[in-house]
Structure 1
């Protein structure tokens, strides 16, 4: 497995993985499959080309099997913080260490940027494997966002976590 930052040249592989994640795990993402499947490929390329966020991809041969995005805060009073979003590993590769390696590289990237003191993320409250991974890496739960997402008539809670570097 190889992990490296994604750029616009990876837009098609990223789009395929992203749409898979949104379609099969809608409660894990604020975006919806219906919204993003209509986007042109250029929009995915633009998402991977911005200078204010970093998306890492895990590759097995030529297949993108996982991603995670690190977004450093830009406002002066928040520059000591970053957020991890859009973490996803294909189901058949879960338990292989891919998620851990993606997270470790995202954390290392945050440390390397300088000035980042804490990293935030949210995880579905019922996603015990993900919560165990995040806690093993040093994240701590600090609250819940009750009814964070509403899909049709069902609400989904998120657990809020932080890691102090």
Structure 2
């Protein structure tokens, strides 16, 4: 497995994996599959986003099997913090170290960004595997947001987790 930073040329593979993620795990994302498929020219939009954000991908050969995105605050008052978004590993590759490798890679990247002191991530409260992974890297839960998401007729809580460098 190889971890590398995605570029606009990876936009199509990323978009396909993103749609899979939204369809397979709707509880894990604030975006929905139904909204995503209605986007005009999503691949071009994804390519533009890859120029402004930092997304790493886990590859097995040429196949993109997992992703993680880091978005840093841009204003003077918030440049010291960043958030992790769109963290996903395709189901048949889970439990084989891709998530751990992606998180390790993004943390190493973040630690070397000048002035970055805080990294945050939100995880649906029922996702024990993800919470365990983040905790193993030093993240701590600072808030449980009740009824953060409404998915398939059910409200779901989210845990907001942080790590300070």
Asked whether the two chains share a fold, i.e. TM above 0.5, the reply is yes
1:150, CA displacement in angstroms? 1.2
Take 2:152 and 2:92, find their aligned partners in 1: how far apart are those partners?
28
Root-mean-square deviation (CA, aligned residues, Å) is 1.0
- Please tell me whether residue 82 in structure 1 is matched to residue 100 in structure 2: no
Cα offset, 1:23, TM superposition: 0.7
* Distance in 1 of aligned mates of 2:90 and 2:99: 10
CA displacement 1:42-71 (0-9 Å, x = unmatched): 112112122xx2000110011100000001
Quote the residue 1:93 is aligned against.
93
Residue 35, structure 1, aligned to residue 35, structure 2 = yes
Distance of 1:81 and 1:75 partners within structure 2: 10
CA distance in 2, matches of 1:24, 1:98: 18
1:152 deviates by 4.3
Residues in 2 aligned to 1:37 and 1:46: alpha-carbon distance in whole angstroms: 18
Matching residue of 1:66: 66
1:47 matches 2:24: no
The whole-number CA distance in structure 1 between the counterparts of 2:109 and 2:80 is 14
| Structure 1 Cα separation of the partners of residues 98 and 38 of structure 2 | 29
Name 2:116's counterpart in structure 1: 116
TM-score (normalizing by structure 1): 0.95
Partner of 2:9: 9
Mapped to 1, the partners of 2:73 and 2:152 lie a distance apart of 31
- Aligned match of 1:146: 146
> How far has the Cα of 1:38 moved from its partner?
2.6
> Can you give the 5+ residue segments of structure 1 that lack an aligned partner in the other structure?
none
The 10-residue stretch of structure 1 (151-160 or 19-28) with the greater mean CA deviation from structure 2 = 151-160
Instruction: Count residues with an aligned counterpart.
Output: 163
Point out where structure 2 has 5 or more consecutive residues left out of the alignment: none
Q: Name the TM-score, length of structure 2 as normaliser.
A: 0.95
Residue of structure 1 in register with 2:155 after alignment: 155
